[in-house]
Amino acid sequence: MDNRVSMTGWKGFFRTLKLVLKTARIRAAGRSQRQQQLLYQRTGSHNDALRVLGFLAMLFVMALVHGLAGFSVHYFASEAYRYGLERDGTIIVSPQFYKRLVEFKAADPELEQKEFLTTRDWWLEREADRREERYGGTETGHRDMLVQMIQHRPIEDFGHLPRHYRALHYADRLAPFPLTLASLSALWWFIMLICQGEGLELDIQRRRHPMWEWFFTHPVHPGAVFLAEMLSPLAANPAFLAAPLFPGFLFGLQYGAPAGLLAAIITGIPLSVACACLGKSIEVAVMLRSPVRKRGAVIGLKSWLGYAAFISFLLGTFAAPRIVNAFGFLFYNLTETIPFKFILPIIGSWGSSSSFWLGILFCLLLSLLMIASAVGISVWGTRNGLAGNSDPGEAITNKKSEEIIVKLGRDPLYRKELLWFIRDRSAFIQVFLIPITIAATQMFNMRSLLEHADNTWNTLSGAAVIFGTYFLWILGPKSLTSEGAALWIAQTWPCGMEDLLKAKARLWFMISSIVVGLILLITALRFSSDLWKIGLIGLGWIAFGRSMAEKCVTLVSVTKESGETEKVPAGRQMAAALGMLSFGIGIFTRQWHLACIGIIYSWITAAAMWQNFRAHLPYLYDPWAEKMPPAPTVMHAMIAISVLIEVGAVFTGIFVAASGDGNLTVAGGIAYAIISFIMMFITMAKMGDYYLTPAETWSWNESIDSEHRKKWFWCGDKSRRLAFFNACFTGIGIGLIWAVFAHGYIEVLKYFELLRELISTSENYLQAHKDTRTALILVAVFCTPFAEEYLFRGLLFRALDREWGGWKALLGSAAFFAIYHPPIAWLPVGLMGLINSWLFKHTGRLAPCVLLHMVYNAVVLAW
């Protein structure tokens, strides 16, 4: 009977263990889906085949990372050994270059080195290029250095290493610097695996529910539950399934492929289990012993370390030569004083001999020690953790800090954000570490664009802007998601949600501007002769960054009763991304007109999103009752104008291909004019769906009171018809004056050689093609003014006036109108757009604006 009960108990133990591990795998799949939601990559598909393929793809990536980690231990040791040789005065060159140098000097030792440099120039260029790839710098600089060394150094000062040299094969003869770098690389792998847990966690605000909570509600064996909790990372995270590849590569490169395979089996599995148990025990201890406000910070920091280590092996392994060369001068002497030789017992190196089995034994003992430490940490965390984890001292410290914040921040909106940093220790990780890490990863991916950053000020400035842009793009949605339901407490404030979200946008902008400002300051110090240009970039960032922050804040979503946040619509994400990189890429490539377009487009997009979002806010919890703002909105105008530009570009290409004359400027003008006229009628029909008739668009009766209109257009108390005619004559008169100004502007531009050539080409083409010139004048006078005034003034300016009002709406619509024209015409066209917006505002009619536009185009083209 006792034996039967015992067997039943063991069956229950293993059934419980199997059930809980299966649950861990299910939870991991749910967390993976949650991470996709947080990163805005959710597809909504529930295809099991795609899930399997996704798991296999992740397993492959993890196997690649572990293999690179094992390779990096040897790679860093070899590069550090190479660095030490060059530090001691030996010039390490490729074996091929060294062989030819020795052969040439042996054939005729008295021959001038000058002749060698002439006859072997191809080998010299190749060697300089190799050193540039390995150590950075420029090919010319390395070539000059090699020339100097060859001319003034004997052959004994040159050396070479085999292509696949493994310094750890001679570990007993290595200096402390290579051994320290190899040891740090191995230790970094352990940190990466320990910090993996059940998966890299981005939602660090989510409450953790450990599986040992089952112990309170189910009659199961407590040992099985706690064992399953320790082993859950193995069941949930593919990183641990591929982890044996690290010791396999490490021992394989040291002792050969068969030894590596054996080491992966014997030591890989115990090391994986030990790292999983140790990482899980740390998480359990943090949840049980840390105060609630610190818990998210510690777990977030652990997750961040795992992510950073993962990315560093995936992207940084093959950058080892540059890393060693960049930091060697800082740490070389330090490692001589404080050596770190953790790698020696791992690979079985002891004294002057190396033993494969000694390394295996050490790894097994290390695994046992880590598992014992995991058990000890779990016991320590569980012993008193269930009784509570509040810290009275922390409450006193927080209270003092909050009093300081209250004194410094008078505005409750900013005070709320500052108190967040005091009360929630994970705020720093959310606001700084995670966005900076992801942005730095993207900058590393773009490193090919930064190769010439040392020689150009605009490259560093463009990198600063792109970094700040990506920082806002990552920080905004994450910050909103992390607050969860707490974000909506502001619905009871007198300030309202709109003020709160605008304050958040300003806070994000200030944080990102600190980073961007520091990089621009460094750039200004390095390129002092271009200080005023860098200053203009800084002013452009102030305008662009503020609008980018305001766009990102509209990506907020409601928190459901389950604690999950609703998915942000794809259309809103796409709208927020419009023009996101134009400013930075324009600086990078010196396309200044593209940089200007990026700033203006971002501002108008922000206005469009906020106009719609403001109407969306009152209906967050009952979206079925939501009503769009009255037409026209800024989004309506932007969509119509964007479609016009895209279709016009297609027809421009067709026109050029059909005519064969190749003048893109004239072809584009004619195609744009025709398509804009057609687009005007399509848009008017579409606006009818939003209860906006053409008559209501062409006349803006509520724009200004009648008394003000009488004052400006000399109609006194006479009829409205007379006021209309006065306004039309005013438009014609201003059009004539402005056409004369534009002609003078063109004459001034001819004093610049490059612009004079461009203007002369267009003028000569029109003189040679009379029919084309006539067609251009006709469409520019009788098509374009109607369409552009309807779209840019009737829709865009009226919507911006409702959103911004005053001079800001005038400048915004005029600038948006100008960027759709060639950069050479931005000044006169932009000012004409400004005048027409003012005329539309003060007359309430589009007809005077159309007449001004017609006269302007007719006089400029005919003249």
Summarize pLDDT for 80-120 with one digit per residue, the tens. 988 888 888 888 888 888 887 777 666 655 544 555 555 55
Last residue of a domain, one of 607, 625, 643: 625
Yes or no: say if 277 and 29 are a contact pair by the CB < 8 Å rule: no
Q: Are residues 532 and 552 in the same domain?
A: yes
Query: Tokens representing 729?
Result: 């004559």
Q: Is residue 714 part of a domain?
A: yes
Closest CA to 526 of 472, 474, 460: 460
Encode pLDDT of 178-237 as tens digits. 999 999 999 999 999 998 877 655 444 444 555 555 555 566 666 666 667 777 787 777
Q: What residues have CB less than 8 Å from 18, skipping those under 6 apart?
A: none
Beta strand pairing call for 158-160 and 91-93: parallel
Average pLDDT, the chain: 76
- Express as a percent the part of the chain with pLDDT over 70: 69
Q: Are residues 372 and 435 in the same domain?
A: no
Torsion sign across C-alpha atoms 738, 739, 744, 750: positive
pLDDT surpassing 90 at residue 700: no
Count helices and strands in the chain by DSSP H and E runs:
38, 4
Q: 382: exposed, middle or buried (C-beta count within 10 Å: 0-12, 13-18, 19+)?
A: middle
Encode pLDDT of 18-74 as tens digits. 666 666 666 666 655 555 554 444 344 444 555 567 667 778 888 899 999 999 999
Q: Are residues 596 and 570 in the same domain?
A: yes
> pLDDT band at residue 424, thresholds of 50, 70 and 90?
low
Domain, as residue range, for 549: 418-625
CA atoms within 13 A on the CB side of 776: 22
Last residue of a domain, one of 625, 648, 666: 625
The top-scoring range by mean pLDDT among 541-555, 608-622, 646-660, 774-788 is 541-555
The alpha-carbon radius of gyration of the chain (Å, integer) is 35
> What phi and psi values does residue 783 have, to the nearest 5 degrees?
-120, -60
Closest CA to 800 of 594, 575, 638, 588: 638
- Say what the pLDDT of residue 105 is: 64
- Residue located via tokens 């993962």: 310
d(CA 683, CA 578): 22
Q: Is residue 397 part of a domain?
A: no
Query: Tokens representing 760?
Result: 């002369």
Lowest mean pLDDT among 126-140, 204-218, 375-389, 751-765: 204-218
> pLDDT band at residue 271, thresholds of 50, 70 and 90?
very high
How many angstroms separate the Cα of 803 from the Cα of each of 237, 509, 704, 799?
A: 49, 21, 16, 6
Q: Are residues 560 and 455 in the same domain?
A: yes
Element holding 321 (H helix, E strand): helix 320-337
pLDDT surpassing 90 at residue 307: no
Q: Is residue 617 part of a domain?
A: yes
> pLDDT band at residue 10, thresholds of 50, 70 and 90?
low
Q: Reduce the DSSP state of residue 628 to 3 states and report it.
A: coil
- Say what the pLDDT of residue 360 is: 92
Yes or no: say if 461 and 537 are a contact pair by the CB < 8 Å rule: yes
Torsion angle, alpha carbons of 735, 736, 739, 743, to 10: -170
Beta strand pairing call for 349-350 and 353-354: antiparallel
Q: What share of the chain is helix, strand, coil (3-state, %, to 5)?
A: 80, 0, 20
Q: Are residues 711 and 757 in the same domain?
A: yes
Lowest mean pLDDT among 634-638, 667-671, 780-784, 828-832: 667-671
Q: Is residue 31 part of a domain?
A: no
Q: Are residues 311 and 174 in the same domain?
A: yes
Q: Are residues 124 and 172 in the same domain?
A: yes
Mean pLDDT of 714-721: 54
Query: Tokens representing 726?
Result: 């006065």
pLDDT surpassing 80 at residue 670: no
pLDDT surpassing 50 at residue 5: no
Mean pLDDT of 616-638: 75
- Say what the pLDDT of residue 240 is: 87
pLDDT surpassing 90 at residue 262: yes
- Say what the pLDDT of residue 397 is: 46
- Say what the pLDDT of residue 159 is: 83
pLDDT surpassing 50 at residue 773: yes
More confident residue, 588 or 277: 277
Query: Tokens representing 52?
Result: 């399997």
- Say what the pLDDT of residue 396 is: 43
Report which DSSP code applies to 558. Answer: P
Closest CA to 679 of 646, 708, 715, 707: 646
Last residue of a domain, one of 346, 363, 386: 386
pTM: 0.66
Lowest mean pLDDT among 111-115, 219-223, 687-691, 724-728: 111-115
Lowest mean pLDDT among 615-629, 636-650, 766-780: 615-629
d(CA 586, CA 225): 58
More confident residue, 78 or 392: 78
Q: From the CB of residue 539, how many other CB atoms can be counted at a distance below 10 Å?
A: 10
- Say what the pLDDT of residue 730 is: 84
Amino acid at 410: R
* Maximal C-alpha separation, the chain: 114
Q: Are residues 621 and 645 in the same domain?
A: no
- Say what the pLDDT of residue 392 is: 46
Report which DSSP code applies to 489. Answer: G
Report which DSSP code applies to 94. Answer: -
pLDDT surpassing 60 at residue 557: yes
pLDDT surpassing 90 at residue 338: no
Which residue intervals of 199-289 are DSSP H helices? 222-236, 238-241, 245-255, 257-263, 269-289
Closest CA to 805 of 703, 708, 733: 703
Q: Are residues 454 and 531 in the same domain?
A: yes
d(CA 347, CA 343): 6
> pLDDT band at residue 714, thresholds of 50, 70 and 90?
very low
Mean pLDDT of 796-819: 88
The distance of Cα 557 from the centroid of its chain, to the nearest Å, equals 21
Respond yes or no on whether the N-terminal peptide bond of residue 632 is cis (omega within 30° of 0).
Answer: yes
Give the N- to C-terminal CA distance of the chain in Å, as an integer.
113
Q: Are residues 117 and 264 in the same domain?
A: yes
Torsion sign across C-alpha atoms 811, 814, 819, 824: negative
Q: Is residue 464 part of a domain?
A: yes
Bridge partners, residue 349, by sequence = 354
- Say what the pLDDT of residue 211 is: 54
More confident residue, 329 or 851: 851
Yes or no: say if 517 and 538 are a contact pair by the CB < 8 Å rule: yes
Which residue intervals of 554-581 are DSSP H helices? 570-577
> pLDDT band at residue 779, thresholds of 50, 70 and 90?
confident
Q: Are residues 297 and 316 in the same domain?
A: yes
d(CA 812, CA 605): 11
pLDDT surpassing 60 at residue 430: yes
- Say what the pLDDT of residue 46 is: 45
Mean pLDDT of 538-544: 91
Amino acid at 422: I
Q: Is residue 507 part of a domain?
A: yes
Which residue intervals of 39-138 are DSSP H helices? 48-87, 95-107, 113-119, 121-135
Number of domains in the chain: 3
Amino acid at 158: F
CA atoms within 13 A on the CB side of 41: 6
Q: Is residue 12 part of a domain?
A: no
Q: Is residue 403 part of a domain?
A: no
d(CA 354, CA 362): 13
Q: Reduce the DSSP state of residue 160 to 3 states and report it.
A: strand
Q: Are residues 374 and 479 in the same domain?
A: no
> pLDDT band at residue 459, thresholds of 50, 70 and 90?
confident
Closest CA to 577 of 543, 554, 594, 596: 554
Bridge partners, residue 92, by sequence = 159
